[in-house]
Amino acid sequence: MQVEKKAAEEDRGGGAEAVLSLGSSLSIPICYHSSFGLDDDLFLLEVDDKLLPDFLQNRVSIRGQPDEDAVLCTPSSTYAMKFVGTSNSVFLIPPGDVSTSNCKDSCADGDMNRPVIASVYTVAKGNIELIQVAPRLDKLKNLLRERPYNLDEDLIGDPRQEVGLYSWNDLVQLIQASEEELRTALKSLSALEIDGYWRILDDKSMDDTLDMILRNAVLHDWPLSALKEDSVLSVLEADGFPGTIVSHCLGTHGCKTFVSEGTLCSLDEKQVCLRLAQRVLSKGKMRLENFMEKWEPLSATSGMKPDLKMLEGEVLYEKIGVEDWIRAFSVSSLSSSPAERFATLFQERPKWQWKDLEPYIRDVHVPGLSTEGLLIKYTRRTQPKADAEVIFSAR
């Protein structure tokens, strides 16, 4: 193509259409548009065909604070935005305007043989590629932990009480995740919406509510596998427990089934026993024997049968002399970033067997990277003997 540096008002009204209609061996003169260079902040965005409908229907948004790398979110996924420069000149040519006065004047003068000239509006320095990534949810955990809900607080009447509280719209603006990913994360964190704000319950409030449910189940001979939600709410609300919190506690420690008579709740043995174990370990590391002496009776009182397998990803064991010790170490406290997750794990313990490591990485999801890929990237494997357990250490 030939480039002529002349004002746009000298062209024949050519534009992108003229360029698109060119044959493979043809050329067209181009010139600088009169507004050339005014929009140097224009970037090309490379979009996969499967994402195009979301763009055309205005279902995408760019999220991130000034100190964060921006991400692009569709309704269900999150994408990193990577700028890729190019050594070639990529001209952006706007659509031609055949109604311009110059074109009319040329036609009126009978100058129909004058070549069409396309105007270059700007030169693209490169394009932005979209790379699907895991949602960035660590910030969500930190925000929700600012103000855990407790049973004694009153949100009414004091505007200062709203400090540290976040509505759905607040979270959408602050968290780099799609709305679908954000809802999934809130559910995994056992968060609930109270008076328009998303909250997590503090441990004491959750423990008190669960204890009251279990005590009344024994008192009223309620089957833990088929609790009638209306009956539970009626009794606990009479004792001063908010119905929303009671219903949330039932859902957190079990599952609900909707039948013609109402809602039935089945408490999950593992979830209940885990909550009771966390309470026992809240005071710190202890001998395994002492832990079991406290955990087993506490669970048995609720009609549950505790098993150490229920605590995978929640506790670590260590041998001190001839004694076995146990302490709390929850996967929920770890970063969702793979690099930070593995760094924390190897700070906690320099060498891991697979049976101990797996519960702490099973929830790490990186688009396009399998668990095996994560292990290759972040760990080093050693095996002292052919029949020995594989040991994972930091790479």
Distance CA 98, CA 4 (A): 20
DSSP state of 322: T
pTM, rounded to two decimals: 0.81
Whether 162 and 91 share a structural domain: no
Whether 344 and 387 share a structural domain: yes
* Closest listed residue to residue 363, CA positions, set 343, 339, 340, 334: 334
Predicted confidence band of residue 39 (pLDDT cuts 50, 70, 90): low
7 within a domain of the structure (yes/no): yes
Whether 91 and 15 share a structural domain: yes
Predicted confidence band of residue 38 (pLDDT cuts 50, 70, 90): low
Whether 242 and 186 share a structural domain: no
309 within a domain of the structure (yes/no): no
Whether 124 and 194 share a structural domain: no
Distance CA 124, CA 119 (A): 14
Distance CA 298, CA 267 (A): 16
Distance CA 274, CA 295 (A): 10
118 within a domain of the structure (yes/no): yes
Distance CA 29, CA 14 (A): 10
Q: Are 348 and 307 in contact (CB under 8 A)?
A: no
Phi, psi of 389 (to 5 degrees): -70, 140
Segment 366-387, tens digit of pLDDT: 888 999 999 999 999 998 888 8
Predicted confidence band of residue 121 (pLDDT cuts 50, 70, 90): confident
302 within a domain of the structure (yes/no): no
Which residues form the domain of 249? 203-267
- Residue 268 token pair: 């999950």
275 within a domain of the structure (yes/no): no
105 within a domain of the structure (yes/no): yes
pLDDT value at residue 300: 83
Whether 207 and 246 share a structural domain: yes
Whether 194 and 254 share a structural domain: no
